[in-house]
Amino acid sequence: MGESGVANILAEALPYVSRYIGKTIVVKLGGSALGSHDTTIDDVVICQHLGIKVVLVHGGGSVISGWLKRLGQEPRFVNGLRVTDDEAMNLVVMALAGQVNKQLVAEIERRGGRAIGICGVDGGMLRARQRDPELGRVGEVYAVDLEPIRTIAAAGYIPTVAPIALGDDGLALNLNADTAAAALAAEIQAEKAIFLTDVPGVLDDHGRLISELSAGQTKTLIADKIISGGMIPKVEACLRALAGVKRSHIIDGRVVHALIGELFTDRGVGTMITQGASGRFDENL
């Protein structure tokens, strides 16, 4: 992105910037968007330059699956969660805390930002217990220590977090990146939690985007099976984040400058989920 492109974005954003200066947003970059995340990283760097504190949490499931297949192993999933035995856990650490994490840090630095990559094991930041024996070394977060995040952010860097937690046995556990981002956002009490994925947002039963939902309306759509399949864990992560966050968003990371569009326009993009009632729920349905 050239200097003129940055200048144009900043000029449009200026009326909205004051809302977020000095505040924290948690951005979850989905593994499915890692191949087309150029403008997302640009947007994250722009936010940093504007004085907005960004915590970036990333996935990387496709990279893990690629390594497993190279070793002759077929990835296995139960209810959308990766089955992670001890051997697969070694690959998870290598792929997420190593390859993907450092790739993202390098991209941020190349675009003029400053970032430090960590995972939830570092400093005991994310502590988890085994979620289900059938899933193997897959964790559910029960405690968050924000000291590593605060230290990195205070030094002027973007904390870039791989979703791996420390188990009670002192070994690493694989985390769903959405739930890791939700746990961090709630504990930080971030201004927003933004989940970038490869879908436009939550759709109604006619396939139309629902721009706003309350937590109660979201649960109703799940019960009515309008929200189903892979969208369920995404909206559940949004709901978990609302324990400490004002607004959660699911937006399409494939859209050019989607993050900037969400932050710095009145309508935003994708679906926003809040604790309170939504003004546009009825007209969208």
Taking only the tens place, the pLDDT of each residue in 51-80 is 999 999 999 888 888 888 898 888 888 877
Active site residue 38: no
Tens digit of each residue's pLDDT (9 = 90 or more) over 127-160: 999 988 989 999 999 999 999 999 999 999 999 9
Active site residue 276: no
Question: Which residue in the list 178, 192, 201, 270 is annotated as catalytic?
Answer: 178
Active site residue 225: no
pLDDT band at 277 (very low <50, low <70, confident <90, very high): low
Question: Which residue in the list 234, 253, 268, 270 is annotated as catalytic?
Answer: 234
Question: In sequence order, which residues have a C-beta less than 8 Å from that of residue 58 and are 6 or more positions away?
Answer: 28, 29, 31, 34, 96, 100, 101, 104, 160, 161, 162, 163, 177
Question: Residue 149: its pLDDT value, please?
Answer: 97
Active site residue 53: no
Intra-chain end-to-end CA distance of the chain, in Å: 38
- Domains, the chain, with CATH or none: 20-284 (3.40.1160.10)
Question: Which residue in the list 31, 59, 201, 261 is annotated as catalytic?
Answer: 31
* DSSP per-residue codes, 44-55: HHHHHHTT-EEE
Question: Which residue in the list 28, 136, 192, 268 is annotated as catalytic?
Answer: 28
pTM: 0.89
12-16, 100-104, 169-173: least confidently modelled range = 12-16
pLDDT band at 2 (very low <50, low <70, confident <90, very high): very low
Question: Residue 68: its pLDDT value, please?
Answer: 86
List residues bridging with 77 in a β-sheet: 82
Cα–Cα distance, 58 to 163 (Å, whole number): 7
